[in-house]
Amino acid sequence: MRKISTNLFLFEDTCNVYVIKAGETAVLIDFGDGKVLQHLDSIGVEKVTDIFMTHHHRDQGQGLPIAVQEGIRIWVPHTEQDLFNHINEHWKAREITNNYNMRQDRFSLLQSVTVYGTLKDYSTHVINGIPLTIIPTPGHSIGSITIIAEIDGKKTAFTGDLIYAPGKVWSLAATQWSYNGGEGIALSVLSLLDIKEQSPDQLLPSHGQIMEAPSKAMDLLIERFAALMEQRMQNPRLFKLRENPYEAITPHLLKNNTSMSNAYVVLSESGKALFIDFGYDFIGGIAAGSDRASRRPWLYTLSKLKEQYGVERIDVVIPTHYHDDHVAGINLLREIEGTEVWCPENFSDVLENPQKYDLPCLWYDPIKVIDSCR
């Protein structure tokens, strides 16, 4: 056990396992092969209540069956839940011949584990009196998260494999999500910029060194990723779109230029806004595959919308049809922004009960409709 601060410890295993101590209990960030459980008594911990996983790779969680046996609650990124609790089905369905899917889901667990709960983006979970906030940080994998917590007076970001050391990543290959794509490079840049705006005091990665000068560490990696994107001629407008994601068509109508499909914002004088469609906000490319872990909506441009156009509330979203690129982010709007869903009557049941329908491009989770429009 390496002591980082009074209540924060590092155990080096197949990945860095972080122990957040609260008296005689602890929560772990990632789990490795489980050897950490044999060393907790050295720091006065009698019980691990919860494990928070930053992503699904085997070096992070190959020991999770031990945690299940011990009755420890396992929390996993919402996007990657099937790569934990339904991995057996995933292995049966994974392409073998004529495979153009370069995602590193082949580095997943070898057997399914029972999951206690999923870590939804932007949610906060209070464990042993410690608030842990979930920030979406796709890059190393599509569903990767960063967990932010205030520990011993320091704002600490557990970044998974988003960054390894100043200017470095654990695996550049992991950022390739299709046969010749660098989707994870662009999304890593966006994720790093987002974490930088959170102003953490320290970065604690799943592999590599603790970084106590986070901004410098992330700036160097962003600079190197930007040079790589330029050489590969990918995402040339990334930084410009991040600064100005919305285009004014009229004084009260905006277009989101970062989304996969066209999405629009109707502005009111009251500070409320109405969205027409909300699928994949700020997309850096499409990953191969169509399983749940291949698609990741987020609310990346909403802060700019509020800052630049005086929007105070996303009041309503109206989907034009049920395809995922038009509805994927709607549940996030509902849960985080309190947005109501108004839907044409002829496909409202498709949104609310997708498993009943044999239709293309359906979202994985039910979307609750407040009002059906005729």
Two tokens at 105?
A: 């889901």
Q: What is the 3-state secondary structure (H, E, C) of the chain?
A: CEEEECCEEEEECCCEEEEEEECCEEEEECCCCCHHHHCHHHHCCCEEEEEECCCCCHHHHCCHHHHHHCCCEEEEEHHHCHHHHCHHHHHHHCCCCCCCCCCHHHHCCCCCCCCCEEECCCCEEEECCEEEEEEECCCCCCCCEEEEEEECCEEEEEEECCCCECCECCCCHHHCCCCCCCHHHHHHHHHHHHHHHCCCCEEEECCCCCECCHHHHHHHHHHHHHHHHHHHCCCCCHHHHHHCCEEEEECCEEEECCCCCCEEEEECCCCEEEEECCCCCCCCCCCCCCCHHHCCCCCCCHHHHHHHHCCCEEEEEECCCCCHHHHCCHHHHHHHHCCEEEEEHHHHHHHHCHHHCCCCCCCCCCCCCCEEEC
The label of the residue with tokens 């840049």 reads 189
Torsional sign, CA 282, 76, 48, 161: negative
Distances (CA, A) of 155 to 151, 186, 208, 373: 6, 26, 19, 45
Q: What's the CATH number of domain 241-373, 3.40.50.10140, 3.10.310.10, 3.60.15.10, 3.40.50.1010?
A: 3.60.15.10
The Cα–Cα gap between 207 and 170 comes to 7
**Partners of 76 in the β-ladder:** 118
Give the model's pLDDT for residue 95: 87
The Cα–Cα gap between 350 and 346 comes to 9
pTM, to two decimals: 0.96
Strands 130-136 and 145-151: antiparallel
Q: Would 2-232 and 241-373 be classified into the same CATH topology?
A: yes
Give the model's pLDDT for residue 243: 97
Query: Order of strands, edge to edge, in the sheet holding 202-205?
Result: 124-127, 130-136, 145-151, 154-160, 202-205
Give the model's pLDDT for residue 73: 98
The Cα–Cα gap between 290 and 3 comes to 42
- pLDDT tens-place string over residues 178-224: 998 899 999 999 999 999 999 999 999 999 999 999 999 999 999 99
Give the model's pLDDT for residue 138: 98
Q: Which fold has domain 2-232?
A: Metallo-beta-lactamase; Chain A (3.60.15)
- Report yes or no: 133 and 324 within 8 Å, Cβ to Cβ: no
What are the boundaries of each domain within the chain? 2-232, 241-373
Give the model's pLDDT for residue 330: 98
Give the model's pLDDT for residue 371: 67
- pLDDT tens-place string over residues 283-333: 999 999 999 999 999 999 999 999 999 999 999 999 999 999 999 999 999
Q: What residue ranges of the chain have pLDDT lower than 50?
A: none
The Cα–Cα gap between 329 and 314 comes to 13
CB atoms within 10 A of CB 41: 10
Give the model's pLDDT for residue 327: 98
